[in-house]
Chain A
Amino acid sequence: MGRLAPPPRLPPRTREERLSLKTFTPDAAAALAGPEWLRARRLAAAERFAAGSLPDPSEEIWRYSRIGELDLDAYRPASGETGGTAQLPEGTAERAALVVVHNGRPSRIEVDPALAATGLVVADIADLPDGDDLLSRTAVADAFTELNSAFIPGATVVRIPRGMVVDLPIIIVHHLDGDGIASFARTIVLAGENSDATVIEHQSSSDVAAFSDPVVELDVGDAARLRYLNVQDLGARVFQVGYQTSRVGRDATLQSSVVALGGDYARVRTDSRIDGKGGTSFLTAVYFADGSRMHDFRTIQDHIAPKTTSDLLFKGAVSDTARSVYSGLIRVGKEARGTNAYQTNRNLVLSDGAGAESVPNLEIETNDVVCSHASAVGPIDDEQRYYLESRGIPPEVAERLIVLGFFGEVLDRLPLSEAVTGLRGTLVRRLAERAGESTGGA
């Protein structure tokens, strides 16, 4: 159980087919509205995208992925569409700011007036005079980040001024509801020196076939504390290739978490670059894939400066015929003496037809480091199940308790207790639905 070479569901497209894109052309990018600087940036990105090629599963970082199935021309850019609403998820009533992003476009922005008056900026980048300086400050990685840059309708910018403590979370709610659309959301969080804030993004969709290419840039200034949570609860026909990149400054702390529940194929690449001495990056994820969906995570913990710390804990479960991939790299550069870096990935395989891959890697160029990595893929432990059943607990309930207990280690570390209560409820419902289907209940 566990290790498998996932067969693609559609025949892979040839390199030639994948290069002859008809929809996502420089002309199409140039036609989008916006300030002059944004139009120029889009066009330049579109030209770089057109000159390159889409990634291929033969590349290590795309191994096991379903990227070969992606037919970009089956989608149209949502960038020109406006309007629409989204339901706010549980636990978001108490907030410092709210942004509703509809099909990739920031469509509604509210900020606590007192915080706005003292310098908190939550805005669409298209409306900011220095927007050009803020876009893509942190490194961008591949064709999909270029594609995002070429077609962003705008971008959500959160700028926390130096020294500001924002007690309540800043909430960004994304919703996709256009059938056949490709959505390009961009979120840029700039946490000023010695600031303290929590940003929560929630992604949902209607039951539509859509392509989603979100990019998140987190810049954590010196001595700042930023907590970031991304909850992905997309519909079962959304193909997502996401990218989250962070830069962590001197003595700064980033606590970045992903909870992935939905999508058809949902990939997130998380790069965390710690380039200030004494910086710390905590990366956590919980993913639960049921049905035939696939969750795909690639992480890079990139230690540039001395005395930096990273601690990654990703825990997933796969059920039915779902699959998951975790592939992670710890990279410790020559200058990063006194680094502590940890990476743990554990997976529960809940059905015979499901499978998970776990591939940890280390790349270390200095001796003065403490590094560890651990990974595991396996079914629920028979003895744990037996212990609970011997108390009179029905098997599907025992399984639910064990899975929630398994996730608890990560859920307990998430930044916001209200949001976590809602997530536990969602996980209980999803596990209960699953049990109801497979065993018909108690």
Chain B
Amino acid sequence: MSALIVRALRAGVDGKEILRGVDLEVSSGQVHAVMGPNGSGKSTLAHVIMGGPGYEVYDGSVTLDGVELLGMPTWKRAQAGLFLAMQYPTEVPGVSLADAMAAALAPQGRAPADVADLVATEAVRIGMSTALLERPLNVDLSGGEKKRNETLQLAVLAPKVAILDEIDSGLDVDALKAVSQRVELITNEVGLGVLVITHYSRLLRELRPDVVSVLRNGRVVASGGPELAEELEATGYEGYGETPA
């Protein structure tokens, strides 16, 4: 049983505070949705947990199975069992998916040939053409292909907790289904914990959340069960977290 626990997290960019004391948890087998309007700090939360460049942490803690992640380099957070599916996966010219996955699993003693087999198997499961596997990472991929590619990597790397940062944004219906079904299966089969960050509730009809939190102005302003997502769909974010600026 694993747990990612975020406590009183304050962080920002260039001295400007964006997260103003965030508390949330996700544990194995659980899907925790973080919803919020644009500018609420959702993506900042994802990157601060992963240790992205340009973000500053002012206070608080982020632990995975009791181990403090803040201060750890990004790659060690990943090796500790954290994964971030990015909203805008970066193009890395000349670096193939196969080479990246082999390099990512090498510290765990996995042989490149086994990794290649695993990548090929997962490509079929996520409905990604094997012809795309030889392409440089995210170069000339459509929006849907990029998100399938992120999900494929999630499946190959088998983290304890995955953060999906707006994996649904701009996604066609088929890709949305493929991505959410694959994540749901991993959650049920091996107990992946999922922190799913989204603006819309569309994704949450495919990937059923156990907990929904609403982020607004850098704070969690409401928390509840799946019904909260439906309510937000109907009413919008107005009325949540009307905190004095």
B53 close to A (CB within 8 Å):
yes
* Structural contact, B94 and A393, CB atoms closer than 8 A: no
A432 to chain B, nearest CB (A): 12
* Structural contact, B93 and A386, CB atoms closer than 8 A: no
* Structural contact, B95 and A388, CB atoms closer than 8 A: yes
The residues of A that contact B78 with a CB separation of less than 8 Å are 389-393
9-residue interface stretch from A136-144, A156-164, A354-362, A403-411: A403-411
Report how far A34 CA is from B19 CA in the complex, Å. 81
- Give a binary string over B68-102; 1 marks a CB under 8 Å from any A CB, 0 the rest: 00000111001100011010011111110001110
Q: List 10 A-B contacts (CB under 8 A).
A: A386-B52, A387-B89, A387-B90, A388-B103, A389-B73, A391-B157, A392-B79, A397-B103, A398-B75, A398-B103
A395 close to B (CB within 8 Å):
yes
- Give a binary string over A359-387; 1 marks a CB under 8 Å from any B CB, 0 the rest: 00000000000000000000001111111
Report how far A17 CA is from B230 CA in the complex, Å. 86
The residues of B that contact A88 with a CB separation of less than 8 Å are none
- B residues lining the A interface (CB < 8 Å): 50, 52-54, 73-75, 78-79, 83-84, 86, 89-95, 99-101, 103-107, 136-137, 153, 157
* Structural contact, A391 and B101, CB atoms closer than 8 A: yes
A417 to chain B, nearest CB (A): 16
Point out the residue from A384, A395, A401, A406 that lies within 8 Å of B75, measured CB to CB: A395
The residues of A that contact B86 with a CB separation of less than 8 Å are 387, 390
Kindly report which residue of chain B lies nearest to residue A409, judged by CB atoms. B94
* Structural contact, B107 and A407, CB atoms closer than 8 A: no
* Structural contact, A402 and B92, CB atoms closer than 8 A: yes
Report how far A391 CA is from B97 CA in the complex, Å. 11
- A residues lining the B interface (CB < 8 Å): 381-395, 397-398, 401-402, 404-409, 442
The residues of A that contact B153 with a CB separation of less than 8 Å are 391
* Structural contact, B100 and A393, CB atoms closer than 8 A: yes
Q: Answer whether A386 and B94 are a contact pair too, CB < 8 Å, given A391-B104, A391-B157.
A: no
* Structural contact, B75 and A405, CB atoms closer than 8 A: no
The residues of B that contact A388 with a CB separation of less than 8 Å are 92, 95, 100, 103-104
* Structural contact, B100 and A404, CB atoms closer than 8 A: no
Point out the residue from B50, B93, B137 that lies within 8 Å of A406, measured CB to CB: B93
* Structural contact, B84 and A390, CB atoms closer than 8 A: yes
Point out the residue from B52, B83, B99, B157 that lies within 8 Å of A401, measured CB to CB: B99
B162 to chain A, nearest CB (A): 11
- What 4 pairs across the A-B complex have the smallest Cβ distances? A405-B94, A392-B78, A408-B94, A387-B90
The residues of A that contact B90 with a CB separation of less than 8 Å are 381, 383-384, 386-387
A338 to chain B, nearest CB (A): 31
* Structural contact, B94 and A387, CB atoms closer than 8 A: no
Report how far A407 CA is from B95 CA in the complex, Å. 10
Report how far A388 CA is from B50 CA in the complex, Å. 12
Point out the residue from B53, B91, B157 that lies within 8 Å of A386, measured CB to CB: B53
B27 to chain A, nearest CB (A): 21
The residues of B that contact A393 with a CB separation of less than 8 Å are 75, 78, 100, 103-104
Report how far A5 CA is from B44 CA in the complex, Å. 40
Kindly report which residue of chain B lies nearest to residue A407, judged by CB atoms. B94
Report how far A402 CA is from B92 CA in the complex, Å. 7
Given contacts A384-B90, A388-B95, A389-B75, 18 further A-B contacts (CB under 8 A): A383-B53, A386-B74, A387-B86, A388-B104, A392-B79, A392-B104, A392-B157, A393-B100, A393-B104, A394-B75, A395-B75, A401-B99, A401-B100, A402-B92, A404-B95, A407-B94, A408-B93, A409-B93
Kindly report which residue of chain A lies nearest to residue B75, judged by CB atoms. A389
Kindly report which residue of chain B lies nearest to residue A392, judged by CB atoms. B78
Point out the residue from B99, B106, B137 that lies within 8 Å of A387, measured CB to CB: B137
* Structural contact, B74 and A389, CB atoms closer than 8 A: yes
The residues of A that contact B136 with a CB separation of less than 8 Å are 405
B45 to chain A, nearest CB (A): 15
Point out the residue from B54, B73, B99, B104 that lies within 8 Å of A395, measured CB to CB: B73
Q: Answer whether A382 and B104 are a contact pair too, CB < 8 Å, given A395-B75, A405-B93.
A: no
Report how far A129 CA is from B146 CA in the complex, Å. 64
The residues of B that contact A404 with a CB separation of less than 8 Å are 94-95
